[in-house]
Every structure is written in structure tokens, then in C-alpha cells.
Amino acid sequence: MASVFDALHERRSSSKVTDEAPSHDEILELVEAAGQVADHSGLAPWRVIEIRGDSRGTVGESLAAASGLHGHDAEKSIRKSFRAPLLLAVVVSPRPSVKVPYWEQEAVASGVAHALTLLLHERGYGAMWRTGIQTRSEAVRAAHRLGPGEQMLGWIYTGRHPDRPRDRRRSRIDARRHVSTL
């Protein structure tokens, strides 16, 4: 079993995956683990929407509408939502709190999303996090039936890693450029 350190160094976005996806029960297990991220006041200000089968087309249609695409361009955009057998939509569901501002609640939801990508990687699944300005559009809100105050963070496109050798080397950041002292 890889360490968290190794998982962080090895994980990368996987734009190519097979048609095998985690089961609903496996997703429940992974979401339970991902939900252990730091969460001030334990608000759990997030939720995950499982999107499989033809429902992926709803995602594609909402993204095409949000982008103002029509005809062939819209069809091309919609097909992108079928790149993986499972899409996990991550939603920030803010809770009323005097102590925990919205930005911190959104950070918790983002932490859950990142933890999910690491857990999926550990199980042999590829994951690609798709975001963009369209996540905050009315077309996407309506398609995902978001409640008042909820915001879409993005989708984790998920499927099994294909059987091909993977280069585990990733470019490294220069930590000295990002760490300072006071």
C-alpha cells in the first residue's frame, strides 16, 4: 500500500480511462473516507452527486448551454461528458455559521474532492477534475438540481486506469519558492 506521500507524488489526472467504474457501494465507502478532511465545526458543507449512464448527457448539455454552444459544437461538447463511465459532481452546500465563512466551507468541499481523487488513485481508478466558469452557470445549477446557496465545484471524471505502462515521474515544484518564514 502506497503512503500518502507517494500517492500525492504519483497521482495525476487521467484523461483516458476504461469503462469500469467504482460501484455505488464503493463510492459510499470512498466518500465516507474523504469526508474526514479538516472541517471547522464539522459542518460537512458539501455533497457528491453520482452521474452514470445517459445522465452524463445532462451534464454535457448543461455545459454546452452554459457556453452558448449550438449544433455541431454543442454535440462535440456533450460527447466530452461521456469520456468516463462515472462523473462525481462535487457541490459546496454552505451551512449557516457565524464562525465558519463561506470561503472556508468551499475549501472543505474542495478538500473532499481532492481526497476523493487520491482514494480513487489508490484503488486503481483514474480521475480527472473538470472545472470551469460554467460550474456557476444557471444551466448547470438547474441540471444538477442545486439548492439555494449551493454551488457546483466541478466533476471528477472516473474510470479504471487502462492497462498500459504509466510514467510515474511528475514535474516537481520548487518548494523554496512557496515556503517562507516569519
Residue 79 in domain: no
Alpha-helix residue ranges (DSSP H) falling in 35-169: 55-67, 71-80, 102-122, 138-143
Q: Is residue 2 part of a domain?
A: no
Question: For residue 7, which of 173, 139, 175, 170 has the smallest C-alpha distance?
Answer: 170
Is residue 3 pLDDT above 90, yes or no? no
5 domain-assigned: no
Report the pLDDT value the prediction gives residue 65, as an integer from 0 to 100: 95
Domain hosting 26: range is 12-52+84-163
pTM of the model: 0.89
140-149 tens-digit pLDDT: 999 999 999 9
Q: Read off the C-alpha cell for 68.
A: 452558448
Query: In angstroms, rounded to a whole number, what is the distance separating the alpha carbons of residues 42 and 179?
Result: 29
**Among 88, 89, 87, 117, which residue's Cα sits nearest to residue 4?**
117
| Within a domain: 72 | no
Query: Looking at the domain assignment, is residue 179 inside a domain?
Result: no
Q: What is the CATH number of the domain that holds 42?
A: 3.40.109.10
**Tally of domains in the chain:** 1
